[in-house]
Amino acid sequence: MDGLLAVTDLEVGFATESGLARVLDHVNFRIGRGEIVGLVGESGCGKTTLARAILGVLPANSARIGSGAIDFEGRNLLDEDTASLADDVRGRQITFVPQDPFSSFNPVFTIGAQIDELMKWKSPAAEHGGGMRRYPRARRRADRERVLELLRTVQLPDPEAILRKYPHEVSGGQRQRLMIALALLPEPKLIIADEPTTALDVTIQAQILKLLRRLATDRRVSVLFTTHDLGTAYEICDRITVMYAGQEVESAPSDEFFAAPRHVYTTRLLQSLPSREHGISGIPGQIPGLVEPPSGCRFHPRCDSASAICRAGRPGVTVVGPDHLVRCYHPVEGGAGEAAA
């Protein structure tokens, strides 16, 4: 699968009262064309920060980007000026499905008005650049047709009526369907979905995930999907990357990931899967602080297999199978996770 996006060696810190928190510590991550990749980890592991870094919307006053590159179709997004990114990449080639569909709509505008506003800037027919320009009537009409068609595609009943409604007048599941439709409308190459189903109840979660998977596959759109829930990731992802405390620790195609995990942390995650309503539990020890993280491998204080070398230096990437990478000095032998899968 040829590459669409490659994050290399990315370092992002946040200024906090107690010092600089190293939220992303030389992270590598990639996503191929048409590929659906799950970015999995506990809250605070840096997956949302990575997603926001790719979108270019880290909080300007507290985030510090140290080193690294975000390569998107041959251009390094970190080198480019923010205004041109906002115009050309963000909302066009890369779109976004937010975590909370309840509060991500502006409560005082109708849904139609908000979609119009977005389409004015981001419809595939919209020209680039320009200030507060007008929205030509012909394009508006054409865009409106595309919107209605897509709303039907995401299985929203009576799209015309929904466009006239205010956000609080439609259900949470419908709002998230709208968000997915909005993410697809600009015909992007990559959709970044940041825990898109956590705010929904379980039955609706499954529907939304299937919908996202089907639409992305049909249109050959890549999806970066962050979640803390391995079960969710298993349902829709082609490949899964696990993050722990600001570093990626393992990356593998979904089937292999569940069949033969190689990082100790991954095996623990899989073992804790049955109790998934409690989140990730049953791993002794605590998530380390990011201001003064542990030396060497960040997981070593909680790892049974840890040795002196784990405390001394950070493990490099080991290729353990086709498209299967792990950062560990003592990878688990293949097959250890079979019980869980």
CA 226-228-233 angle, to 5 degrees, is 65
Q: Between β-strands 94-97 and 3-16, what pairing exists: parallel, antiparallel or unpaired?
A: unpaired
Task: Tell me the one-letter amino acid at 299.
Answer: F
Nearer to other proteins, 117 or 218 (CB): 117
- Residues with Cβ < 8 Å from 217, sequence gap 6 or more? 34, 36
Residue numbers at the binding site for other proteins (CB under 8 A): 52, 55, 57, 83, 85-87, 89-92, 95-96, 98, 100, 103-110, 117-118, 121-122, 132, 166, 168-169, 182
Q: How far is the CB of 169 from other proteins (least distance, A)?
A: 8
Q: How far is the CB of 194 from other proteins (least distance, A)?
A: 9
Nearer to other proteins, 98 or 173 (CB): 98
Where are the alpha helices (H) located in 21-110, listed in sequence order? 47-55, 82-88
Our measurement of the distance from residue 323's CA atom to the centroid of its chain's CA atoms, rounded to an integer in Å, reads: 20
DSSP letter for 334, please.
T
Name the 3-class secondary structure at 133.
coil
Nearer to other proteins, 223 or 310 (CB): 223
State how far the Cα of 330 lies from the Cα of 326, in Å rounded to an integer: 10
Q: How far is the CB of 193 from other proteins (least distance, A)?
A: 12
Q: How far is the CB of 40 from other proteins (least distance, A)?
A: 20
Q: How far is the CB of 32 from other proteins (least distance, A)?
A: 23
Number of DSSP helices (H) and strands (E) in the chain, helices first: 11, 13
Nearer to other proteins, 55 or 221 (CB): 55
Nearer to other proteins, 24 or 58 (CB): 58
Could you tell me which of 20, 12, 14 has the C-alpha nearest to residue 291?
20
Nearer to other proteins, 116 or 238 (CB): 116
Q: How far is the CB of 272 from other proteins (least distance, A)?
A: 25
Edge-to-edge strands of the sheet including 190-194?
94-97, 190-194, 222-227, 36-40, 239-244, 247-253, 324-327, 317-321
Nearer to other proteins, 105 or 258 (CB): 105
- Bridge partner list, 248: 243
Q: How far is the CB of 253 from other proteins (least distance, A)?
A: 29
Name the 3-class secondary structure at 30.
strand
